[in-house]
Structure 1
Amino acid sequence: MEAVERESDAFQRPVSVEQIEAMCRRAFGDRTRVARIVEIGVGHYNTTYRIDIEGRDPVILRVAPERAQQAHWDRDVMRNEYAAAPYFAALGTLVPQNLAVDFTHQIIGRDYMFQTLLPGAPASTTLDAYPRSQWPSYYRQLGTITRAVHEVRGDRFGRVAGPGFDTWSEALSDQFRVLAADFDDAGLDSGDVHRVIDAVGTHRAALDEVTEPRLLHGDLWTLNIMLDPDAAEPTITGVLDFDVACWGDPMADWTIHRARQQPGTEVAAFWETYGRPATDAASAVRELFYQARNLVGVQLDIHRRGIDISEVPPIHWDVSDVLARLSG
């Protein structure tokens, strides 16, 4: 096995060769022979391997953290991705197919799934190989893909696997309540998160102008996009990791948040294919809530990775400015 070297107390936990071989036999038959195991160390949550199996195409094995490791926000997100997979059919071959899924915990006390191996390399490590003059092409493709996801309609708000809510304000309040619980468990001050929850009640009318739930990927940016490393210009070949997919306002999606952060750059080409967001007063209020949620999530991620928050510029995690604008 080719494994990633980590500290013994690292969040991502390794899986033994014996366990992986047992998983493969359960998924593909008792005669399955594993030829090679390579851990993929790009992500920060699941432990992921490329498995070469004799007589078949290579597969990807993703193993979730033990449930005791999972925060409230991350609880059972692999099961959420499994539930969401049929709704990403609009992306066709850009998304991996689930080959086998096991939530029994009989072989290992963690959820896991086998998926097809998509061609390409992560855009997070590949896009920089192209001149910036070619980057707009990439962002136009991303705009088209994001629009295709957001055109999928649902019948309730919230995580695809549930719980579901009748209104967007209820779903958003629940998201912040879950995040507040994670702050408390981590020993962080959840006061600002609770103030955002209070603001949801104040601005409920603006939030509930969103009446039609749409599919959100939840984490669609360069880390979860595959590019063809041999193409003459950036060419998207895959979309990964929709484990926090939910039904909500498309403007709340992580992709929209990231695109809005970089006006006047190559990223602006995203809006050429996605379409321009609304700019009315209610939309501006909703955008403040989405900023707050993303900043709160970043602070939790900083904590989970063991990064000293004093070394991170407050603009990347502090929601006080957003709260001031919601109260103004």
Structure 2
Amino acid sequence: MTTPPQPTPALTDAQLAALCAPLGRPVSSERLAGGLFAAVHAVTLDGGRRVVVKAGTADESRLLTYEHGIIGTEAAFLRLVHATPGAPSDVLPELLHEDRSRTAFPGDAVVMTHLDGALWFQVAADAERAGAPLDAATTARVQREVGGALARLHRATGTAYGYPAPEAGLARTTWPDAFAAMIEAVLDDAARWGIEVPAFAVREAVVRGEQALARVTTPRLVHGDLWAGNVFVDPATYAVTGVIDGERALFGDPSST
């Protein structure tokens, strides 16, 4: 079995300075908590502007198939949302700089605007620990706001289905073909990592659903990784202030992903 991936190392001050150079000079930074894939830093530039730098792992041998090129996907995701009328650009970061030269850092990187607020799951956990958990009405209100943002996100459309990064090779002209390719990639990755899955049954299910998938005629933008850890809220009012981490976005049918 392949050994599991390790967290992407933190960026050095020199790397942050090089990635932020088109925008200003970093005067302070802090690494933000996150997953294994990317190193994420909040950076304050001279002049007081706050930005977020996200840099993907340079060890591409440890990636799942669909993860190839996904820092570029995040950049494309943000550009498309901010260019689509009615899309939720009010709660998504703005792309400020994209660096795929791999000269400042051995992986791809993006610089985005910094969003206000606190992570929804952290706010909920803090309230639970304080003995005053969020009530059902508050939780439902946050969920409705997130749902509204997603509905607006789906106004953005593409020209192909599946994962858009060319490096992944998982874009197709129809949704059934893209869905099948995505599933095959997961099965291949499972085999490579020594994970036992009922591959035959999975493929049979994909074939059974082909006609339903074929009814989808518009490749709509889907976030692909939306959970309470990727939603910012105002800790005082619980209003949604941000949706982050569009790196795993794809084009497809929002109801079947």
Q: Would you say 1:230 and 2:236 are equivalent positions?
A: yes
Q: How does 1:90-129 map to 2 (within 5 A)?
A: 90-128=87-125, 129=127
Q: Would you say 1:186 and 2:178 are equivalent positions?
A: no
Task: State the shift of 1:15 in Å.
Answer: 2.0
- Summarize deviations over 1:32-84 as a string: whole Å, max 9, x none: 2x221100013442110111122131111111011233221211111112122
State the structure with bigger RCO (CA 8 A, min sep 6), 1 or 2: 2
- Please say if residues 152 and 215 of structure 1, whose CA atoms lie closer than 8 Å, have aligned partners that are also in contact: yes
Which of 12, 16, 28 is the equivalent residue of 2:23?
A: 28
Which of 195, 198, 208 is the equivalent residue of 2:214?
A: 208
RMSD of equivalent CA atoms: 2.0
Q: How does 1:294-309 map to 2 (within 5 A)?
A: none
- Please say if residues 7 and 38 of structure 2, whose CA atoms lie closer than 8 Å, have aligned partners that are also in contact: no
In structure 1, C-alpha distance between the alignment counterparts of 2:108 and 2:62, rounded to whole Å: 12
Distance of aligned partners of 1:227 and 1:184 in 2 relative to their CA distance in 1, 3 Å threshold: same
- Please say if residues 96 and 116 of structure 1, whose CA atoms lie closer than 8 Å, have aligned partners that are also in contact: yes
In structure 2, C-alpha distance between the alignment counterparts of 1:53 and 1:97, rounded to whole Å: 16
Task: State the shift of 1:19 in Å.
Answer: 2.0
Q: Would you say 1:154 and 2:158 are equivalent positions?
A: yes
In structure 2, C-alpha distance between the alignment counterparts of 1:108 and 1:131, rounded to whole Å: 41
Which of 35, 53, 64 is the equivalent residue of 2:56?
A: 64
- Name 2:78's counterpart in structure 1: 85
Higher helix share: 1
Task: State the shift of 1:28 in Å.
Answer: 2.7
TM-score after normalising by structure 2 = 0.85
Distance of aligned partners of 1:221 and 1:171 in 2 relative to their CA distance in 1, 3 Å threshold: same
Amino acid at match of 1:218: G
TM-score after normalising by structure 1 = 0.67
Stretches of structure 2 lacking an aligned partner (at least 5 in a row): 128-132
Structure 2 SS opposite 1:60: strand
In structure 1, C-alpha distance between the alignment counterparts of 2:116 and 2:239, rounded to whole Å: 11
- Name 2:46's counterpart in structure 1: 54
Distance of aligned partners of 1:15 and 1:153 in 2 relative to their CA distance in 1, 3 Å threshold: closer
In structure 1, C-alpha distance between the alignment counterparts of 2:34 and 2:173, rounded to whole Å: 37
In structure 2, C-alpha distance between the alignment counterparts of 1:101 and 1:155, rounded to whole Å: 22
Identity of aligned residues (%): 24
Which of 165, 177, 180 is the equivalent residue of 2:172?
A: 165
In structure 2, C-alpha distance between the alignment counterparts of 1:51 and 1:63, rounded to whole Å: 13
- Please say if residues 84 and 161 of structure 1, whose CA atoms lie closer than 8 Å, have aligned partners that are also in contact: no
Structure 1 SS opposite 2:246: coil
- Please say if residues 48 and 61 of structure 1, whose CA atoms lie closer than 8 Å, have aligned partners that are also in contact: yes
Distance of aligned partners of 1:70 and 1:137 in 2 relative to their CA distance in 1, 3 Å threshold: same
Task: State the shift of 1:96 in Å.
Answer: 0.5
Which of 231, 237, 240 is the equivalent residue of 2:244?
A: 240
In structure 1, C-alpha distance between the alignment counterparts of 2:178 and 2:102, rounded to whole Å: 30
Amino acid at match of 1:35: V
Task: State the shift of 1:223 in Å.
Answer: 0.8
- Name 2:33's counterpart in structure 1: 41
Give the total of aligned pairs: 238
- Summarize deviations over 1:63-110 as a string: whole Å, max 9, x none: 101123322121111111212223323112211011111101112211
Distance of aligned partners of 1:99 and 1:194 in 2 relative to their CA distance in 1, 3 Å threshold: farther
Higher strand share: 2
Amino acid at match of 2:174: T
- Name 1:131's counterpart in structure 2: 134
Amino acid at match of 1:187: G
Task: State the shift of 1:21 in Å.
Answer: 2.3
- Summarize deviations over 1:149-185 as a string: whole Å, max 9, x none: 2233333311234543222111111101111121122
Amino acid at match of 1:48: V
- Bigger Rg over Cα: 1
Distance of aligned partners of 1:144 and 1:221 in 2 relative to their CA distance in 1, 3 Å threshold: same
In structure 2, C-alpha distance between the alignment counterparts of 1:24 and 1:165, rounded to whole Å: 35
- Please say if residues 7 and 35 of structure 2, whose CA atoms lie closer than 8 Å, have aligned partners that are also in contact: no
